[in-house]
Chain A
Amino acid sequence: MHPADVARLGGIEVTTAGIVEGFLAGQHRSPRRGFSVEFAEHRQYQPGDEPRYVDWKLLGRTDRLYVKQFEEETNLRAMLVVDASASMAWRGDPARLTKLDYATRLAAAMALVLLRQRDATGLVTFADTVQSVTPARVRRGQWAQLAGELGAIQPGQGTAAEPALRQVVAALRRRGMVVFCSDLLLDRTLTLKALKFLRHRGHEVLVLHIADPAELELGGGEETRFRDPETGESVTLAPGEWAGAYRRTVDGVVRAWGSACRAAGMRYALLPTDLPFGTALSRALGA
């Protein structure tokens, strides 16, 4: 299904489930199926509950009967890092999703996939500052929280990926997976440095390069002043004269990101916003 069609169906919560169901239909079960349990929450004791799950310490302190509820612990903790800068709120065609819309839907879908695999999943959104941090968990309602966070993202102004990635370092104390969703219109050196640091910490890093097709192919003929919505910088030129050079530059950027990521052991995928989500998920999750 085309992303634009998906977007017309409804909000993230509604549409993501469809996306993921379709995606998972052809997938194997997660190889990272948990082998241990971890405390998740308390609830009041009810007749019939196994006494061994009664939290005796809590009974001693509060004089109330609570039973422990445990979650299956995974060996993967994933953190979705979504760029919410102003450039992400752009689209070259009104019929298409903005890069941010595309990224949030894609992140939501990935979160749902991961959570269904019982992988703890968190979220960091950033623009010129870190906007929100949702720790990685696998509890029930996590996906709804993440979807809510993603749906509530407001585009910021600039892009400051490096602080956001530092937040990830703090959030993922153990080895995990970092999914970095961005249009990569940022300081590549700093960002790569931060990503490499994550990789150095043993995290699996997936860089999803969200790009509007109009950013990949420069269209139009008349001379136009192109203004960067983030920085306000502008360039005036006739697109018809520069389409080729622009294409080569973009190809170079894509190749540079790909090479840098591969060299650092990271995965990189270019995802145009007209790419169907299923295909995008396949590229993102290495299917």
Chain B
Amino acid sequence: MGFTAPWALAGLALAALPILLHLVQRREPPERAFPAVRYLEDATRDHRRQLRLRHLLLLALRTLLVIALVLAAAGAFVRGAMPFGRHAPSALVLIVDHSASSTAVWGGEPALTGIQRAADAVLARATAGDRLWLLTATGVPRTGSAEELRAAVATLEPAARPMDLGAAVAVARDLLAGVDRPGEVVVVTDAQGSAITPTRGEGPLTVLRADGDPPPNRGLAALDAGAQPWGGDGGRVTATLLGVATDPVAAALEVDGRTVRELLVASGAPLTLPVPPLTAGWHEVRLTLAPDEFRLDDTARVAVRVAPPAAVAWTPGDRWLDAALDVLAADGRVRAGAEITLGSLGRGRSVVVPPSDLALLPALNRALAGRGLRWRYGAVQDGAGALDSGAVLPFRAGVSRRVVLESATTGAGEVLVTADGAPWAVRDGDIVLLGSRLDPAWTELPLTAGFVPLLDHLLTRTLSGDLFLTTAVPGTPVVLPGLVTGVTRAGNEVAVEGGAPWRPAGPGIHYLLRGVDTVGAITAALPDGESDLVPLTDAELRNRWPGAVVRAWDEADAAAFGSSGRGDLRPLLLLLALGCVIGESLLAGRGRSVVR
């Protein structure tokens, strides 16, 4: 037996009260002369033994009454199975998995309905003495009465995002570590494998899981639109079918809501789909499968930026540049023109490299300064070095000679590539300065496979309007580019702070705005694992969460408040006290009626 408020046991001293009163009453009573003692003896002869027994019973009942009340006040409970209807005052954290997978239809109804029903059954067993928390996909524990939390559970909507139940259990256990009563964690989930992540901490854990086979499901991974922006002649998107292997399924390719192609797709290798030529601007390309029991992964989207090829002017004769630009031109990425000058400082946007005659550097610096550039070329450094990998240059390349790039103002412009930690490629306004000539005598870059993509990035993105394109899982933070001022989706624009984390609320394409210009897009989509609805087996679940008690949803009413293994003795004690009161009243009344 244990007690939730052991300090109340001090009240057991009161149990001595009836005994003391009894002893006090048994002390020498006042004496009174009374001649008719023989009548008293006659009157009491038959009932004296009965009266003595009644007094002893009354004493026992009153003592038992005090003990029962004190034990109830101390919150007595028993360990082990719960033989009584009520449980001891407990703390319970109920984790409800209303992630995207809960929208899947199991046996004719959404999994969320079963989850809500099981969660409600758990909360229905709560008593006023319990401390309760509800933990949902928001990640913020909510406390309240059982009725409040039941109402919250009843109004839960699918989160359209995955849940990390392992992290949720850890949070729950942290919560319970701070309470002064036995606690347990109850997770109501569809037991999707991707959600049952390893957890930490110890304590009673009950998992209420779906019972039965999951619905067959196939979904789509996020579309890949390749390098962007696209040219005006269209492009290709690559799709991957996820989930269980099924027969080919009907799909429709849409651009901006207009179906451009209908096809059958099958699981297996990624599927590349051509997209017809599009006008310049932003487009939403979407591939939609025929609906199944889990709808949220039936559609994959990608934002596509279409822009005309950059018009580039360069001085022919540089064999490395000529070859690279031929490739880019053939691919429609660039064309001959005067919008961007490559290799020297032009009138407009320029990619500037050090002059072959280093004596011209001062003149170049003056020209750069005349354009308002805050960077300038410094001293020449010879010696082996390496370009650091980054977003613009995804690999390392050797540098044997370079001109130091200096800035008079800290934080001016943007460092695109570094060499051994020092700026090697910087952008300030519409001019990009490179620290080395694009020549193997300066850097091995022209000899590498990344040379053409680097030029493509500099010409079509860095100087033609850099694009911020990324994918994200709904609910997870994405650090926005520095100059972004707003995000818009489906016509709803919200102001954001550039450079700060931002969480897409749900699946879809969120366009990033800089003022009125769209500078990028975040495609929010479920992670691929969310399409796999196959739940973990009980053994797998217990393997991931050692010690967990696994029950089915329809066992929720029996499973809840049982992991703490404590049965509340208070109802029994109060019942006993009531019985003592009734017994005392009956016995006292009967005693009076006997002698009258």
A residues at B contact (CB < 8 Å): 86-87, 90, 183, 185, 214-215, 218, 220, 222-231, 233-237, 241-246, 248-250, 252-253
Which listed residue (B31, B35, B44) contacts A237, Cβ 8 A?
Answer: B44
CB pair B44–A227 under 8 Å, yes or no, is no
B357 within 8 A of A: no
B201 within 8 A of A: no
CB pair A224–B35 under 8 Å, yes or no, is no
B residues at A contact (CB < 8 Å): 25, 28-44, 47, 51, 591-592, 595-596
CB distance from A156 to the nearest CB of B (A): 13
Which listed residue (B29, B32, B40) contacts A246, Cβ 8 A?
Answer: B40
Which listed residue (A185, A224, A235, A253) contacts B41, Cβ 8 A?
Answer: A235
Q: How far is the CA of A241 from the CA of B41 in the complex (A)?
A: 14
Taking A185-B38, A218-B40 as known contacts, 16 extra A-B pairs with beta carbons closer than 8 A to each other, sorted by chain A number, are: A87-B35, A215-B39, A220-B32, A225-B28, A225-B32, A226-B40, A229-B33, A229-B34, A229-B35, A235-B37, A235-B44, A241-B51, A242-B44, A245-B43, A245-B47, A246-B43
Q: How far is the CA of A229 from the CA of B38 in the complex (A)?
A: 12
CB distance from B31 to the nearest CB of A (A): 4
Q: List, sorted by A's number, 17 A–B pairs whose CB atoms are closer than 8 Å.
A: A90-B33, A220-B32, A223-B25, A224-B32, A225-B29, A225-B30, A225-B32, A226-B37, A235-B40, A237-B44, A241-B591, A241-B595, A242-B44, A245-B44, A245-B47, A245-B596, A250-B39
Given A235-B37, A249-B39: A244 and B31 interface contact (C-beta under 8 Å): no
CB contacts (< 8 Å) of B33 on chain A: these are 90, 226-229
CB distance from A178 to the nearest CB of B (A): 23
CB pair B36–A233 under 8 Å, yes or no, is no
CB pair B38–A228 under 8 Å, yes or no, is yes
Q: How far is the CA of A228 from the CA of B32 in the complex (A)?
A: 9
Q: A interface, by DSSP: helix, strand, loop or mixed? A: mixed
CB pair B42–A230 under 8 Å, yes or no, is no
CB distance from B203 to the nearest CB of A (A): 58
Q: Which residue of A lies closest to B37 (CB)?
A: A228
CB contacts (< 8 Å) of B29 on chain A: these are 222-225, 236
Q: How far is the CA of A87 from the CA of B256 in the complex (A)?
A: 122
Q: How far is the CA of A65 from the CA of B34 in the complex (A)?
A: 61
Q: Which residue of B lies closest to A86 (CB)?
A: B35
CB distance from A3 to the nearest CB of B (A): 18
CB pair A226–B34 under 8 Å, yes or no, is yes
Q: Which residue of A lies closest to B588 (CB)?
A: A241
CB distance from A82 to the nearest CB of B (A): 16
Q: How far is the CA of A242 from the CA of B50 in the complex (A)?
A: 13
CB contacts (< 8 Å) of A230 on chain B: these are 35
Q: Which residue of B lies closest to A246 (CB)?
A: B43
CB contacts (< 8 Å) of B43 on chain A: these are 242, 245-246, 248-249
Q: Which residue of A lies closest to B33 (CB)?
A: A229
CB contacts (< 8 Å) of A86 on chain B: these are 35
CB pair A215–B40 under 8 Å, yes or no, is no
CB pair B591–A227 under 8 Å, yes or no, is no
Which listed residue (B31, B39, B595) contacts A224, Cβ 8 A?
Answer: B31
CB contacts (< 8 Å) of A227 on chain B: these are 31-34, 37
CB distance from A99 to the nearest CB of B (A): 8
CB distance from A110 to the nearest CB of B (A): 23
Q: Which residue of B lies closest to A88 (CB)?
A: B35
CB distance from B590 to the nearest CB of A (A): 12
CB pair B591–A222 under 8 Å, yes or no, is no
Q: How far is the CA of A241 from the CA of B591 in the complex (A)?
A: 8
CB contacts (< 8 Å) of B28 on chain A: these are 225
CB contacts (< 8 Å) of A249 on chain B: these are 39-40, 42-43
Looking at B32, B33, B36, the one whose CB has the most chain A CB atoms below 10 A away is B36
Q: Which residue of B lies closest to A235 (CB)?
A: B40
Which listed residue (A222, A237, A246) contacts B30, Cβ 8 A?
Answer: A222
CB contacts (< 8 Å) of B592 on chain A: these are 241
CB contacts (< 8 Å) of B41 on chain A: these are 233, 235
Q: Which residue of B lies closest to A183 (CB)?
A: B35
CB pair A253–B39 under 8 Å, yes or no, is yes
CB distance from A61 to the nearest CB of B (A): 55
CB pair A185–B25 under 8 Å, yes or no, is no
Q: How far is the CA of A231 from the CA of B30 in the complex (A)?
A: 18
Q: How far is the CA of A236 from the CA of B30 in the complex (A)?
A: 9
CB distance from B243 to the nearest CB of A (A): 85
Looking at B33, B41, B596, the one whose CB has the most chain A CB atoms below 10 A away is B33
CB contacts (< 8 Å) of A235 on chain B: these are 37, 40-41, 44
Q: How far is the CA of A235 from the CA of B51 in the complex (A)?
A: 14
CB distance from A223 to the nearest CB of B (A): 5
CB contacts (< 8 Å) of A253 on chain B: these are 39, 42
Q: How far is the CA of A248 from the CA of B594 in the complex (A)?
A: 12
Given A242-B595, A244-B596: A228 and B39 interface contact (C-beta under 8 Å): no
Q: How far is the CA of A215 from the CA of B28 in the complex (A)?
A: 23
Q: How far is the CA of A231 from the CA of B36 in the complex (A)?
A: 11
CB pair A228–B34 under 8 Å, yes or no, is yes
CB distance from A216 to the nearest CB of B (A): 9
Q: Which residue of B lies closest to A225 (CB)?
A: B31
Q: Which residue of B lies closest to A90 (CB)?
A: B35
CB pair A228–B35 under 8 Å, yes or no, is yes
Looking at B30, B34, B42, B43, the one whose CB has the most chain A CB atoms below 10 A away is B34
Q: Which residue of B lies closest to A241 (CB)?
A: B595
CB contacts (< 8 Å) of A248 on chain B: these are 43
Q: How far is the CA of A10 from the CA of B13 in the complex (A)?
A: 62
Looking at A226, A227, A233, the one whose CB has the most chain B CB atoms below 10 A away is A226
Q: How far is the CA of A241 from the CA of B587 in the complex (A)?
A: 13
Q: Which residue of A lies closest to B34 (CB)?
A: A226
